[in-house]
A and B are shown apart, each in its own frame.
Chain A
Amino acid sequence: MPSESAAATAEDFRPERRLHASSWLFGTASYLKSFLVPLIAAAVIGSSREFALWAPVTVIVPLIAAALWRQWVYRYGFSQHGLVIHEGLFFRNVRTIDYGRIENVDTERGLLHRALGVAEVRVETSTGGSAEARIRVLDLAAVEDMRARIFERDRPAASAHDAAPSADAAEREETLLELPPAELVRFGLIDNRGMLVVAAIMGVLAQSGVFENANEWAAPLLARLPLDAVAAFGVAAQILLALTLAAALIVSTRVLSILLAFAMLFDFRLTRANGDLRTRYGLLTRISMTLRRRRIQAVHQTATLLHRLFRRVSLKVDLAGGLTAENEARQRGAQQHFRDLWLAPLVRPENAEALIRVALPQARVAGLDWQKLAPRARWRIFRVLSLSWLIAASVPAVWWTGWWAAALLPAALPLFWLHASLYVRYTGWALHEGFFALRRGWLTRRLSVTPRNRIQSVHIGSSPFDRRYRMARLDVDIAGVSAVTHRFCVPYLDRRDAERLAAELVASRQTQ
């Protein structure tokens, strides 16, 4: 590649491509979204005055004008080196993103997008945090064209070590996983996000002070209810009524969860093209994400009690450059999308292995050489639980019910022993040729795998209690761990084991 002339053309390069004709609509909509709450507030509060009708209009008209202007000015194009974007109302901005640096070209399509046959495009590099460019909006042909141009140029460079697929394989997309409706129903039942929605609604209601003046609206309502009749039912009927209500609540939240599962993950499919993974899902808002293999840092497998009941597991991945906790805190002000990076929302345990190997070729999860926690870990967990239970529960128990309750307190101790035993049995780590694996928990069983060459640093912590038991806690830090529950953290290790493990994790195969 003649770099001199290429550099010259890159500077002179003037992008010619324009946004889809309906872009202004989405631009306005996105502004409106951030103004929505104030607007509604203004409309509601000022509803008694004529002014209220005009307030939204005075806001919306300039927004439309701005969006139209933005669309008019916006240009993008493909120079020799990278994607070039010209934008800006008054302050002109030229952004160039090298093809080699582009990791993802993701799309997001809401109902309106789909009605108009367009998509919002996010171009991401490995910098992390927000998308490098957010192109709002392009028609689908243009998106495919963009994908092809970006990744086609990238291919010769990347494929050198990436098991180059043949030319026609690049065209083909291999479907690795689909979620039929039956699976979505199962997902809804397991995930139970409906409960969260109910809780959130309750929270909002509590915030808005509905419960404070509950007397005003609830008292007349209660007065009209046939409470006397209920009282006449007798105790058995009342209990039955309460149980029915509870059951109805549970059923309705589960139904809500299933609906949410459909909305969120409808027609989920995981495909492989060019060695990279792609997920597409969503009923109303259609999401398409590329999980580039070299960005995948770890795979996490979760199996709650319900998962096991349905004989399923969930798989998520961590991507480098995804939102880390710090980034999230830093950018909370900015509009941020952070979603679960599903590899498989629901998959049979026997098929999970294959998917994990697709994401992390050097890893596996079956037949690992699991190492145990320190020998006295079980005793320590039991002791801590028991002591804190006895201390915390004895005073209120004796206070409220009298001394005979104190005799009942130790009844919980076998449960603690059971918990400690199970926890110790299901928690462990495994270190193999190319990867490090960790499993923890017995009720919700989590299993995480990360390639050894993705490990950023290793930390051993020991509290005074740890030292008393000659134990230590090991923290393995990788890039892009998103949730607290996904930490690579092993407590209750034997101190010598921890030190040996840390030394091995850091020392070996840091360079690939």
Chain B
Amino acid sequence: MAAVDTETPTSESPADCDRSVDPRTVAVWRWSTLAAFAPAAAVLTVVAAALSLERLPAAPLVWVVWLLVLTAAAVAAWRYPPARYRHLGYRVDGTGITIRQGVVWRTQSSLPKVRIQHTDVSQGPLQRRYGVATLKLYTAGSRFTRTELPGLEHSEAVALRDRLQRQGHGDAV
């Protein structure tokens, strides 16, 4: 539930990574957050209902927890994805691509074009529904072999992949 307190009031947008991804990805993230909470909510509902039917003294407490979890889910699903969207940016130039992301723990990854070994454009079922895709870039590195850029419009992701790969025929390592 760390997602709730992630609304750090930092509006300093990344200056150079100014390209944003498709806004529709916010909806994808909202639904997937809700989906992530669904099992916990279902279990809690069943437990709470069972306890209430048995009229056990713990039942009200479980309903309180149930309420808390649902509130947390709602808040996390409603508030976090826009923040994540605001903090996600990228920039493509002659040398390669730079991606900034992260609300609390922020990272900025720079990949030279010549270092990109291969790429994936992948879409989950929710992403397909909203027409967005995740671009995955692989290098021959050791700790950061994969860098992801989520939330691109699918055609945009494909175009970006082609743009990054076209000249990317550098030496192997």
Give the interface of A toward B (CB within 8 A): 126, 295, 297, 320-321, 324-326, 454-464, 467, 475, 477-482, 487, 499, 502-503, 505-507, 510-512
Q: Is the CB of A464 within 8 A of B8?
A: yes
Q: Is the CB of B142 within 8 A of A464?
A: no
Q: Is the CB of B173 within 8 A of A457?
A: no
Contact with B142, one of A459, A463, A478, A506 (Cβ below 8 angstroms): A478
Question: Given the known A-B contacts A320-B140, A324-B142, are A506 and B107 also in contact in the complex, defined by CB atoms under 8 Å?
Answer: no
Question: Given the known A-B contacts A457-B144, A479-B140, are A297 and B173 also in contact in the complex, defined by CB atoms under 8 Å?
Answer: yes
Q: List 20 A-B contacts (CB under 8 A).
A: A126-B173, A295-B173, A325-B143, A455-B112, A455-B115, A456-B111, A456-B139, A456-B141, A456-B144, A457-B147, A460-B107, A467-B10, A477-B139, A477-B141, A477-B142, A478-B142, A482-B142, A502-B110, A506-B111, A507-B95
Whether B82 is near chain A, meaning CB under 8 Å from some CB there, is no
Q: Is the CB of A457 within 8 A of B170?
A: no
Complex Cα spacing A325 to B143, Å: 7
Q: How far is the CB of B18 from chain A (nearest CB, A)?
A: 15
Q: Is the CB of B95 within 8 A of A459?
A: no
Q: How far is the CB of A73 from chain B (nearest CB, A)?
A: 34
Q: How far is the CB of A498 from chain B (nearest CB, A)?
A: 9
Contact with A475, one of B113, B144, B145, B170 (Cβ below 8 angstroms): B144
| 7 shortest interchain CB distances as A-B pairs | A456-B141, A477-B141, A320-B173, A481-B142, A460-B108, A506-B110, A324-B142
Q: Is the CB of B143 within 8 A of A487?
A: yes
Return the CB mask of B85-126 against A: 1 if under 8 Å, else 0.
000000000011010000011111111111100000000000
Q: Is the CB of A457 within 8 A of B104?
A: no
Whether B54 is near chain A, meaning CB under 8 Å from some CB there, is no
Q: Is the CB of A479 within 8 A of B141?
A: yes
Q: How far is the CB of B171 from chain A (nearest CB, A)?
A: 7
Contact residues in B for A461 (Cβ distance below 8 Å): 105-108
Q: Is the CB of B142 within 8 A of A462?
A: no
Complex Cα spacing A444 to B13, Å: 39
Q: Is the CB of A502 within 8 A of B108?
A: yes
Q: Is the CB of B111 within 8 A of A462?
A: no
Q: How far is the CB of A269 from chain B (nearest CB, A)?
A: 27
Whether B58 is near chain A, meaning CB under 8 Å from some CB there, is no
Q: Is the CB of B112 within 8 A of A459?
A: no
Contact residues in A for B108 (Cβ distance below 8 Å): 459-461, 499, 502
Q: Is the CB of B106 within 8 A of A462?
A: yes
Contact residues in A for B10 (Cβ distance below 8 Å): 467
Contact residues in A for B104 (Cβ distance below 8 Å): 463-464
Contact residues in A for B106 (Cβ distance below 8 Å): 461-462, 467
Q: Closest B-chain residue to A460, C-beta based?
A: B108
Interface contact tally, CB-CB below 8 A: 98
Contact residues in A for B107 (Cβ distance below 8 Å): 459-462
Scoring A297, A457, A506 by chain B CB atoms within 10 A of each residue's CB, the highest score goes to A457
Scoring A126, A325, A464, A487 by chain B CB atoms within 10 A of each residue's CB, the highest score goes to A464
Contact residues in A for B141 (Cβ distance below 8 Å): 456-457, 477-479
Contact residues in A for B112 (Cβ distance below 8 Å): 455, 457, 506, 510
Q: Closest B-chain residue to A466, C-beta based?
A: B106
Complex Cα spacing A487 to B145, Å: 14
Whether B172 is near chain A, meaning CB under 8 Å from some CB there, is yes
Q: Is the CB of B143 within 8 A of A477?
A: yes
Scoring B10, B113, B171, B173 by chain A CB atoms within 10 A of each residue's CB, the highest score goes to B173
Contact residues in B for A295 (Cβ distance below 8 Å): 173
Question: Given the known A-B contacts A460-B107, A461-B107, A507-B95, are A479 and B142 also in contact in the complex, defined by CB atoms under 8 Å?
Answer: yes
Q: How far is the CB of A101 from chain B (nearest CB, A)?
A: 10
B108-167, CB < 8 A from A: 108-115, 139-145, 147
Q: Is the CB of B142 within 8 A of A457?
A: no
Q: How far is the CB of A490 from chain B (nearest CB, A)?
A: 14
Contact residues in A for B110 (Cβ distance below 8 Å): 457-459, 502-503, 505-506
Contact residues in A for B96 (Cβ distance below 8 Å): 506, 510
Q: How far is the CB of B99 from chain A (nearest CB, A)?
A: 10
Contact residues in A for B145 (Cβ distance below 8 Å): 324, 326
Complex Cα spacing A300 to B116, Å: 25
Q: Is the CB of A321 within 8 A of B173?
A: yes
Q: Is the CB of B114 within 8 A of A511?
A: yes
Beyond A456-B140, A463-B105, A510-B114, 19 additional pairs, beta carbon < 8 A: A320-B140, A321-B173, A324-B145, A325-B143, A456-B115, A457-B109, A460-B108, A461-B107, A462-B105, A464-B105, A467-B106, A479-B140, A502-B110, A506-B96, A506-B110, A507-B95, A510-B113, A510-B115, A512-B171
Q: Closest A-chain residue to B147, C-beta based?
A: A457
Contact residues in A for B105 (Cβ distance below 8 Å): 461-464
Q: Is the CB of B143 within 8 A of A511?
A: no
Q: Is the CB of B95 within 8 A of A510?
A: yes
Q: How far is the CB of A2 from chain B (nearest CB, A)?
A: 27
